[in-house]
Amino acid sequence: MSSHRYEAVVRLLEARRPACGSTTVVAIDGPSGAGKTSFAAGLADATGAAVLHLEDVYPGWDGLAATPPIVAGVLDAIAVDGVGTARRWDWDRGAPGAVLHVPPARLLVVEGVGSGAAVIRPHLSLLIWLDAPAAVRKERALSRDGETFAPHWDRWAAQEARLFAAEGTRHHADLVVAT
């Protein structure tokens, strides 16, 4: 991603106040394969932000709807200067794994499908929506995650569609980026 893309986000952030205690939280949401992880990495490099990847806490291939309340709980703790915790998902075992600790930070990027859900929005200073054509997204996701994701693509995409329709996430975004 080019640095000018992050300069625009940094300018937006400079005009925003923290909405999660003393932590400014940026959510990067959008469907699988839209480029959220890469965008989050570039933004973190440009700003020194900490990053919470939702793929660490999704409770399995059928757990997308359960994820926003988990993330809201992490942010609730950070909002009162506590350390947010959530169970990591052990994808190899298909079961909950170790506890993930997320301390307050000056800037926290929350990246992943569902990061802009209504239950999370009160903690957000900025919501960014990333998207790309479905064929491009599928190609990216399957080339990134190979055969691990391939058998789950359709069922995960159906969960995304339900979540985005229920939440209206794209319409709440402060910034929409086509990748």
CATH for 97: 3.40.50.300
Confidence of residue 3 (pLDDT cuts 50, 70, 90): low
Q: What is the pLDDT of residue 4?
A: 67
pLDDT at 147: 77
Q: How far apart are CA 60 and CA 96, in angstroms?
A: 9
pLDDT of residue 142: 85
- Give residue 31's domain range: 3-178
Higher pLDDT, 8 or 4: 8
Residue 57 and residue 87 in contact, taking contact as beta carbons nearer than 8 Å:
yes
Specify the number of domains making up the chain. Answer: 1
Task: For residue 44, give both structure tokens.
Answer: 């973190």
pLDDT at 88: 97
Give me the DSSP letters along 22-74.
TBEEEEEE-STTSSHHHHHHHHHHHH--EEEEGGGT--STT-GGGHHHHHHHH
Mean per-residue pLDDT of the chain:
94
Q: For 129, phi and psi rounded to 5 degrees?
A: -110, 125
Tell me, what DSSP letter sits at residue 20? B
pLDDT score at 62: 95
- How far from each other are the two terminal CA atoms of the chain, in whole angstroms? 9
From the list 81, 56, 82, 79, the residue with the least C-alpha distance to 67 is 56
